[in-house]
Structure 1
Amino acid sequence: MTLSEARTSFRLAYVPGVTPGKWVRIWNERLPDVPLDLVTVSPAEAPDVLRNGAADAGLLRLPIDRTDLSAIPLYTETTVVVVPKDHIIAAVDEVSTEDLADDIVLHPLDDTLGWERMPGRPANERPATTADAIELVAAGVGLLVVPQSLARLHHRRDLTYRPVSGAPESRVALSWPEDETTDLVEHFIGIVRGRTVNSTRGRPLSTSQPAPERKRPDADGARRKPAGGKATGRTAGKAAGAGKSARSGSGGGAKSAKGVKRGKPRRRS
């Protein structure tokens, strides 16, 4: 029995900015007897948390070292630049990396964008974390380019952000140890991929009553004849119409015979 199978709950790690709330809600609806525990981890420590068994699966940012880990990319985030509200960039809808050439662009040590070449001018020192970089932006030291979810996570009333074209994008993925693809992991994969309850892989972890079978109408849409032999619906209507026509026909014939004129009788010679 593996460590994941021995647990009575499912542990999900996630990095800052990722919001697993919708998937957690669906999990609780489908598997109410298996609690889902959330574990917040930094991007740097997320792969090791999965490898050492501290979590069953994790929502993290690519790229990562894929050794011994499976990963399913889920979505790609918009990249934005965080600026003070009185900065000239706040007056436009979008900028490019070239538009940042004259600004100091901060590059925190926990950066998740994987730049090949940073835009703008470098600061004297790299901030330790994204949170530290946000504080420096608020102090007017420089600007910060991050995934949009991190800009929202560290929102301040004196700061705003705008999309940046030409910048790397952050991809969020679901990852887990490739040798620990348990039934619980399969169920969570099904949830994030939008599978229905009936299409989720793995052994069922809860029972439910099957949906009642719907009765199909006859091919021609007519009602079936009941066991008593009396016709109903359109069949009864046709029979009644036929009987009425028959009575009308016989009455009309009698009226026609009565109305025939008889000729004068011949005289006998």
Structure 2
Amino acid sequence: MTTALRIGFVTGATPDKWARHWRARRREPLELVPVTESDQLDGVRDGSLDMALVRLPVDREGLHCVRLYDEAQVAVASRDHVLAAADEEVTTDDLVDEQLVRPHPSGWTPAAEQLDWPTMTEQEAIETVAAGTGVVILPMSVARLHQRKDVVSRVVTDLEPTTVALVWLVERDDEVTQAFVGVTKGRTANTSR
């Protein structure tokens, strides 16, 4: 029996299209494994995953990394929050007096003195802002995944987009790995590298 190709995917990444193309072209089974952003590299580094769809930045030492797509960042707040009155977009200037219930990965912080929040998942952060406390900035796909009727999300136009990439160990650069890279890059069954 052929060993399954195990691909981790971070919250918000959408590997379904690539999995369908893989299964239509290849005999090797494919197993998709959800991972959190905090442990997105662990399985690749310890060998329990062959590859992973991760959200950059990551420590790339010993890894191949192929950027796949960028994604807008959104501010999520309670439907009763002043942010709800904004059209579809805001800037960090619009958020300067806000409490971030979860630190932003870029290190950007509003000018307002920030409270010391406990560590929380994306879902917990959205539940917190739904209760009317602060805002959270997340990749658009993550905000959509945890969408609720009592929150709104607005694109933050002056924050750099987040990037989803495919990573794998340098020493695992075999034909099967390159075949999956090809699928993510849009190569057809008849395209060569």
TM-score, structure 2 length as denominator? 0.92
- In the alignment, residue 39 of structure 2 is paired with which amino acid? E
Cα offset, 1:125, TM superposition: 1.6
Q: Is 1:162 matched up with 2:154?
A: yes
The alignment yields a C-alpha RMSD, in angstroms, of 1.7
User: CA 1:44–1:168 in 2, change beyond 3 Å: closer, same or farther?
Assistant: same
Rg (Cα) greater in structure: 1
- The equivalent of 1:11 in structure 2 is 6
- How far did 1:104 drift? 1.4
Render the CA deviation track for 1:107-150: whole Å, top value 9, x for unaligned: 25xx5x322x3125323324322222111101111111111011
Instruction: For CA contacts below 8 A with separation 6 or more, give which structure has more relative contact order.
Output: 2
Specify the alignment match of 1:60 in structure 2.
Answer: 54
Does structure 2 retain, via aligned residues, the 8 Å contact 1:105–1:120?
Answer: no
Structure number with the higher strand fraction is 2
Deviation at 1:187, TM superposition (A): 0.7
- Asked if residue 171 in structure 1 is aligned to residue 130 in structure 2, the reply is no
The counterpart of 1:24, out of the listed 19, 33, 37, is: 19
1:1-269 correspondence to structure 2 within 5 Å: 8-31=3-26, 33-91=27-85, 92-108=87-103, 113-115=105-107, 117-121=108-112, 122-201=114-193
Kept in 2, the 8 Å contact 1:127–1:133? The answer is: no
SS of residue in 2 equivalent to 1:64: coil
> How many positions carry a matched residue from both structures?
191
State the SS of the aligned residue for 1:162. Answer: strand
Match of 2:60, as an amino acid? R
In structure 2, relative to structure 1, the CA distance for the partners of 1:68 and 1:42 (3 Å cut) is same
**Whole-angstrom distance in 2 between the partners of 1:86 and 1:34:** 50
Percent of matched pairs sharing the same residue: 39
Contact map agreement 1:104 1:120 (CA 8 A) in 2: no
CA distance in 1, matches of 2:80, 2:42: 41
Write the distance in 2 (CA, Å) between the matches of 1:97 and 1:128: 22
Structure 2: distance between partners of 1:137 and 1:200: 48
Q: In the aligned structure 2, how far is the partner of 1:56 from the partner of 1:120?
A: 42
Displacement of 1:155 after TM fit? 0.9
Deviations 1:152-189 (A, max 9, x none): 11111111201012223211100000110121111111
